């Protein structure tokens, strides 16, 4: 770089196109054993990812300027004695790349976002049941039918009525799935450099809906014939936009590569974190 100074270093800019490119290839091959609609979706993503990735590196590769902390580097170099021996790095030590700082979303934010998204998704599903079938139990029983073959083959009139088994199983499936997807959002959203709300709220639900729509006919044809895919996509978008917004707006935490699972989840365990020395808090306040 012509204008590169000693205060900054230029690194390749982060991009999500390689991940999308790999996902599109997976869809292309998955469509060969399911349906050509899946391959068609993979082809569209393949072309879009190829173009996006191309312009990330050509004709000029995108870079980001990262500030260099000179005092910290000089202090680390002064503290480390010069030796001819090979020094082995161990996790948890400062001053080298074994311990990598990163900002991530806490798992609790994923659980919270999953629960809020589950409520939004359930509201859309209940509205669908009232409008299409005049019953709030229809979408609940339909969700439970994914795990109960007998309910999947039940008549529409039977699905409109209350079922204790359908309600219990539907609630368990809905909550567990929503929490798992919420935690997955919390893990993946920090990987996207920008526009995380767009991926969480629009792109991911549409891709997920397309994957379900193209495979459900093979997995459960009876259930596939009863789903209104317009409302299904609307419920997925409600989950993605509401849950993704809650997760994206949650406060990020700085974590380290060597931190334990308990530390990452924010558990307050005695002896887990290093106690502050007397007077350390007063110095930080100054």
Mean pLDDT, residues 15-20 taken together: 85
Question: Looking at the structure, do residues 117 and 199 belong to the same domain, yes or no?
Answer: yes
In a domain, 271, yes or no: no
In a domain, 40, yes or no: yes
Q: How far is CA 134 from CA 168, 228, 233, in A?
A: 21, 15, 20
Number of domains in the chain: 2
In a domain, 147, yes or no: yes
Q: Give the model confidence (pLDDT) of 72-122 as tens digits.
A: 555 555 555 556 666 665 544 444 444 444 677 888 888 999 999 999 999
In a domain, 177, yes or no: yes
Question: Looking at the structure, do residues 237 and 113 belong to the same domain, yes or no?
Answer: yes
Question: Looking at the structure, do residues 142 and 202 belong to the same domain, yes or no?
Answer: yes
In a domain, 181, yes or no: yes
pLDDT: which is higher, 214 or 239: 239
Question: Looking at the structure, do residues 227 and 136 belong to the same domain, yes or no?
Answer: yes
| SS3 at position 250 | coil
Question: Looking at the structure, do residues 56 and 116 belong to the same domain, yes or no?
Answer: no
In a domain, 85, yes or no: no
Q: Give the model confidence (pLDDT) of 185-197 as tens digits.
A: 887 777 766 666 6
Question: Looking at the structure, do residues 113 and 206 belong to the same domain, yes or no?
Answer: yes
Question: Looking at the structure, do residues 172 and 241 belong to the same domain, yes or no?
Answer: yes
Which residue, among 77, 115, 71, has the nearest Cα to 96 in the 3D structure?
77
Going by pLDDT thresholds of 50, 70 and 90, the confidence category of residue 157 is: confident
Question: Looking at the structure, do residues 64 and 178 belong to the same domain, yes or no?
Answer: no
Q: How far is CA 65 from the centre of its chain?
A: 26
Element (H, E) at 24: helix 17-30
Q: End-to-end distance of the chain based on CA atoms, in angstroms?
A: 39
- CATH (domain of 50): 1.10.287
Question: Looking at the structure, do residues 63 and 115 belong to the same domain, yes or no?
Answer: no
Domain span at 155: 107-249
Q: Which residue has the tokens 């230029």?
A: 10
Question: Looking at the structure, do residues 164 and 54 belong to the same domain, yes or no?
Answer: no
Task: Name 45's Cβ contacts closer than 8 Å, sequence gap at least 6.
Answer: 20, 23, 24, 27
Question: Looking at the structure, do residues 142 and 52 belong to the same domain, yes or no?
Answer: no
Q: Is this model's pTM higher than 0.85 or not? A: no
Question: Looking at the structure, do residues 218 and 158 belong to the same domain, yes or no?
Answer: yes
In a domain, 208, yes or no: yes
Q: CA 188, CA 107: separation in Å to the nearest integer?
A: 11
In a domain, 90, yes or no: no
């Amino acid at each position: 770089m012509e204008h590169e100074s000693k205060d900054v270093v230029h690194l390749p800019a982060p991009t999500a196109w390689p991940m999308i490119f790999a996902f599109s290839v997976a869809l292309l091959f998955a469509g060969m054993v399911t349906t050509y609609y899946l391959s068609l979706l993979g082809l569209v993503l393949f072309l879009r990812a190829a173009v996006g990735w191309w312009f990330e590196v050509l004709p000029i590769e995108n870079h980001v300027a990262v500030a260099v902390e000179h005092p910290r580097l000089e202090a680390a170099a002064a503290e480390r004695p010069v030796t001819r021996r090979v020094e082995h790095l161990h996790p948890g030590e400062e001053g080298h790349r074994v311990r990598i700082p990163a900002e991530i979303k806490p798992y609790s934010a994923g659980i919270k976002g999953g629960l809020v998204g589950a409520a939004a998704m359930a509201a859309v599903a209940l509205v669908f049941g009232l409008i299409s079938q005049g019953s709030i139990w229809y979408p609940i029983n339909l969700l439970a039918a994914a795990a109960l073959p007998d309910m999947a083959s039940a008549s529409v009139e039977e699905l409109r009525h209350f079922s204790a088994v359908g309600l219990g199983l539907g609630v368990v499936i809905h909550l567990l799935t929503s929490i798992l997807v919420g935690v997955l959002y919390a893990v993946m959203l920090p990987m996207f450099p920008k526009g995380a709300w767009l991926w969480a709220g629009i792109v991911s639900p549409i891709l997920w809906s397309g994957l379900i729509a193209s495979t459900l006919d093979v997995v459960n044809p009876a259930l596939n014939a009863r789903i209104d895919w317009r409302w299904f996509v609307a419920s997925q978008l409600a989950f993605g936009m509401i849950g993704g917004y809650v997760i994206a707006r949650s406060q990020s935490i700085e974590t380290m590569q060597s931190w334990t699972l308990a530390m990452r989840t924010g558990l307050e365990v005695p002896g887990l974190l290093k106690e502050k020395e007397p007077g350390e808090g007063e110095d930080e306040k100054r």
